[in-house]
């Protein structure tokens, strides 16, 4: 069974994924993905997220929470290690700042418009996109709470396949014409 670890911190955007009733967490659970969360910084403890434990790391937004998570050296090391081992890393909203602080190589990404200038001005490494969800190899980024459903469904597809994405999508009963 695939598994996911979602980082949270004081100031994490609740719509993006704090508990069972929120978008990413709930969507992953609906797909049968074992999903856990960990608080950053975990006082005096290292984050237990070795490469053998999870298939995807998710960094949510919320300005204060995203700043705390993206500045954590353990998170930065895990982001680099997961991507180096061809595992998935998802970043939502201001959580995309972790791409900058983790010194990821040049690639496409997106973020909340409020942190776009930081990603563009402080790094010539990123090809910034206004798309709702940007998939760059195993890095998957999205713009904000309103784009979290297609983001979460993209994670489901990458971990479990198109059929599972469709199986999860159907009962969610999105309005007719919803593009995801």
Cβ burial of 128 (10 Å; 0-12, 13-18, 19+) is middle
Token pair of 114 as six digits: 């409020």
Cβ–Cβ < 8 Å for 172, 47: no
Q: Is 160 a known active-site residue?
A: no
Q: Is 16 a known active-site residue?
A: yes
Token pair of 178 as six digits: 């919803």
Q: Is 163 a known active-site residue?
A: no
Residues 175 and 171: their CA atoms lie apart, in Å, by: 12
Query: Which of these is catalytic: 67, 112, 157, 160?
Result: 112
Query: Which of these is catalytic: 13, 67, 93, 160?
Result: 93
Residues marked active site are found at: 16, 93, 112
């Amino acid at each position: 069974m695939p598994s996911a670890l979602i980082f949270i911190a004081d100031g994490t955007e609740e719509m993006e994924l704090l508990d069972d009733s929120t978008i990413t967490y709930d969507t992953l659970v609906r797909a049968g993905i074992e999903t856990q969360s960990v608080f950053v910084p975990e006082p005096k403890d290292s984050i237990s997220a070795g490469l053998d434990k999870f298939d995807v790391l998710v960094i949510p937004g919320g300005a204060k929470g995203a700043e705390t998570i993206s500045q954590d050296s353990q998170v930065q090391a895990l982001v680099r290690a997961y991507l180096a081992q061809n595992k998935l890393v998802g970043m939502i909203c201001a959580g995309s700042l972790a791409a900058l602080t983790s010194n990821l190589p040049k690639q496409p990404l997106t973020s909340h418009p409020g942190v776009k200038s930081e990603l563009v001005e402080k790094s010539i490494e990123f090809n910034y996109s206004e798309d709702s969800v940007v998939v760059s190899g195993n890095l998957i980024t999205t713009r904000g709470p309103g784009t979290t459903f297609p983001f979460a469904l993209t994670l489901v597809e990458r971990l479990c396949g198109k059929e599972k994405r469709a199986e999860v999508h159907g009962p969610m009963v999105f309005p007719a014409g919803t593009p995801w």
